[in-house]
Amino acid sequence: MFTMGRHVAEFEEAFAAYFGRKYAVMVNSGSSANLVAVAALFYRKDNPLRPGDEVIVPCISWATTFYPLHQYGLKLRFVDIDINTLNIDVEHLEQAITPKTRMVVAVSILGNPCRFDKITDICKRHNLILFEDNCESMGAMYDGRYTGTFGLIGTFSTFFSHHISTMEGGLILTDDFEIDCLCRSIRNHGWCRGQPEGSPIFEKKESDFYEAYRFILPGYNVRPMEIQGALGKVQLKKLDAFLGARRANAAHFVSLFKDDKRFIIQHEVGQSSWFCFTMIVNPGTDRGAVLNALKKAGVEYRIITGGNMLRHDVTKYFDYTSVSSKQADIAHDCGFFVGNHPVDIRHEIDYLYESLKCI
């Protein structure tokens, strides 16, 4: 069996246990995890999302945080970031809520946890769904709890550059049995085959002939391969060591750059899983000169998680409003990141520091 067999099921079970959640559903990417999870919220029995409902999102995240929301007819309400953490500015979050708001999407950017004490309190008081896109932050912790486990749903990625890798892959975590059942159907053509015992999303009929190809939801084919599940089981056992190496690298990076007035580096909230090292150039330093120096030194760099989404052409297709994006614009225009790895790269970080000394 090559697609979604024993190894995928065992990886799902181990992944849920590692993060202390009841259910994990594996799909073929973190982007698909977002798509399937958003879809599930439209098909749950009680209080489903509906087209036209409003969802609060941060200005900075990866594109496929936003696309499923748009594709299911939700209205996006963009809130600015905190320039120091790069996460949604919780001081402006509550002010952005309107009578049409149904959900908050919290994204722990590049390994750095959101302020979940405030976010969960706001969502509870306003009866809002909390959806966590945790695709960049596997293993990060806030107040002793893993990010990706604060919301009704948390999504993860196992893309090759992320904290563990199955080449391509993603997972949905939840404690909600109905959501779990919905996600399992939606990832697999929307049929009822493979539903757990006692599934609340359909009533089983007598004929096995028809049940084998009975479609109950508008679904997709985003199934993972067995090789991805097999890789995931092994990679998950290495996650603690990978995180330890990333955090040791980060401690060295911070020690070198924390007092460097030319740059704003990401302020750690809780325990970051340190996807990478972000640097925002302060006024008086030319980002172009910095990037040229890195290019000359052979140091690769990237825009911070795609930058401010409001600056991309694709937003012309969105139904959206924006509260503010001033800080996100600064990150877009003045920021970049360099890579971290799950091995000791302190020597390379020293090289980065030396390469920027004369700018």
Residue 158 and residue 228 in contact, taking contact as beta carbons nearer than 8 Å: yes
> Could you give the C-alpha distances from 95 to 56, 82, 105, 247, in angstroms and in order?
11, 15, 15, 34
Q: 34: buried, middle or exposed (CB in 10 Å: 19+, 13-18, 0-12)?
A: buried
The residues facing 174 across adjacent strands are 23
| Residue 52 burial (CB count, 10 A) | 11
CA 10, chain centre distance (Å): 23
Q: Are 143 and 22 in contact (CB under 8 A)?
A: no
Q: Are 27 and 166 in contact (CB under 8 A)?
A: no
Task: Tell me the CB-side half-sphere exposure of residue 329, using CA atoms within 13 A.
Answer: 4
Q: What are the residues whose beta carbons fall under 8 Å from the beta carbon of 41, sequence distance 6 or more?
A: 48, 49, 103, 129, 131, 153, 179
C-alpha–C-alpha distance, residues 172 and 108, integer Å:
16
C-alpha–C-alpha distance, residues 314 and 139, integer Å: 31
From the list 7, 70, 162, 252, the catalytic residue is: 162
- Give Cβ neighbours of residue 180 (< 8 Å, ≥ 6 apart): 22, 23, 25, 174, 196
Catalytic: 163?
no
Rounded CA gap, 112 and 169, in Å?
A: 21
Active-site residues: which are they?
A: 162
